[in-house]
């Protein structure tokens, strides 16, 4: 019987390269789940609660939370919930438990497969679901210099400078939030090519595995 797959969290600030890192690991046989996509699914699963809680707030702003096909208009929902800390907290209280359930199910299903080297959770804010973070054994924190991340974000998302800087500010002290976990945490700087990033990732994973023997 093979070893039980390792549970990893791939995280890092905006435009540092965590999606590239997760893709590299997926190509190497790791089972990967994108927490953002799990969150989108959670929103749809909890749409009745969301409509019930935020429909009036949306109406005040001239917005409709429901698309023509009955799904959640996530853009309108975002305008509502990010308008105040209280509304954002109410939204997270609905969505995060369902997101956690989806991720936990993915982990449980793939941990049974000893043929894969590990289960990867691609997530910027996994610290907001502490029950999942407690299961993580290794945190791969992908980072890059701020100026490099700024130009990557401009090229990738086409966002105005103000929006990018707001996103950067919201992720201040992100690394410290993962240092509080019991997982082995390693920072990898993504300043070159994809191949260079891959080499760095494989090096830190090999070193971590060696250190546990």
Is the pTM higher than 0.85? yes
Total Cβ atoms within 10 A of residue 93: 11
Which one has a higher pLDDT value, 5 or 196? 196
pLDDT for position 4:
67
Nearest residue to 13 via CA among 203, 129, 141? 141
pLDDT mean across residues, the chain: 93
Average pLDDT over residues 13-24: 97
Q: Is the pLDDT of residue 2 over 60?
A: no
pLDDT in tens, 98-150: 999 999 999 999 988 989 999 999 999 999 999 999 999 999 999 999 999 99
pLDDT band at 1 (very low <50, low <70, confident <90, very high): very low
Q: What is the mean pLDDT of residues 1-24?
A: 89
């Amino acid at each position: 019987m093979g070893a039980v797959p390792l549970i990893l969290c791939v995280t890092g600030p905006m435009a540092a390269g965590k999606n590239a890192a997760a893709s590299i690991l997926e190509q190497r046989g790791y089972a990967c789940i994108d927490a953002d996509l799990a969150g989108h699914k959670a929103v749809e699963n909890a749409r009745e609660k969301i409509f019930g809680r935020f429909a009036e707030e949306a109406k005040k702003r001239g917005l409709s939370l429901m698309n023509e096909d009955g799904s959640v208009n996530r853009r309108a929902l975002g305008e509502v919930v990010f308008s105040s800390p209280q509304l954002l907290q109410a939204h997270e209280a609905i969505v995060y438990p369902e997101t956690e359930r989806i991720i936990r199910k993915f982990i449980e299903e793939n941990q049974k497969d000893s043929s894969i080297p590990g289960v990867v959770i691609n997530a910027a804010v996994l610290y907001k679901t502490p029950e999942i973070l407690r299961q993580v054994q290794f945190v791969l924190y992908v980072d890059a210099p701020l100026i490099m991340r700024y130009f990557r974000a401009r090229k990738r998302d086409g966002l105005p400078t103000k929006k990018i800087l707001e996103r950067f500010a919201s992720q201040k002290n992100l690394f410290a939030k993962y240092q509080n976990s019991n997982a082995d945490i390693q920072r990898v700087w993504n300043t070159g090519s994809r191949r260079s990033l891959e080499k760095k990732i494989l090096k830190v994973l090999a070193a971590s595995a060696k250190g546990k023997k």
